[in-house]
Amino acid sequence: MRIYGINVWAIIGAALSIYGLGVLIYGLIVDPALWMASARISQAEMDAVGLSRMPFSPILPLVTAIGMAIVFHWAKVSGLANGIKWGAMIASLSALPALWYGWVYGVGPLSGPMIDSVHLFLGHCLAGAIIGRWN
């Protein structure tokens, strides 16, 4: 199914892959206590605020996938390898610099943005592979 020439199933698949990668990284690979310490979040803060924001979490990968699909459509990006390259480029030139602003102007340790950077970079590459392949 396409809307304005953009494959909706590719967007859904890409968004689910970004979200699934986040579940894998933050739920299984990285100890939640390590991530909370590096983000300077206490367990009490997480209990009070963190989970209340979880219903919004699917929106972020969906918006990322929609944006990438639009850019891929405009640039006529197709194919698995090109999708990965473009995903890496978008992550490196947009998502990661935006994330790193928080570290540059904040006071937290380096480990928090590093974990988040891995998630963003790999997520963009994975989404790029899916969108590029399905274009």
- Angstrom distance (rounded) from CA 38 to CA 17: 25
The mean per-residue pLDDT over the stretch 121-128 comes to: 98
- Angstrom distance (rounded) from CA 29 to CA 36: 14
What is the chain's mean pLDDT, rounded?
91
Banded model confidence at residue 1, pLDDT cuts 50, 70, 90: confident
Alpha helices in the chain (DSSP H): 8-24, 32-38, 43-48, 59-75, 80-90, 96-104, 111-134
Residue reference for tokens 């990668």: 21
Q: Find residue 2's DSSP bridge partners.
A: 7
What is the per-residue pLDDT across 9-67, written as a single tens digit (0 to 9) for each? 999 999 999 999 999 998 889 888 888 887 778 888 888 876 788 888 899 999 999 99
pTM of the model: 0.88
- Judge whether 95 and 120 are in contact, CB under 8 Å: yes
If DSSP codes are grouped into helix, strand and coil, which group holds residue 110? Answer: coil
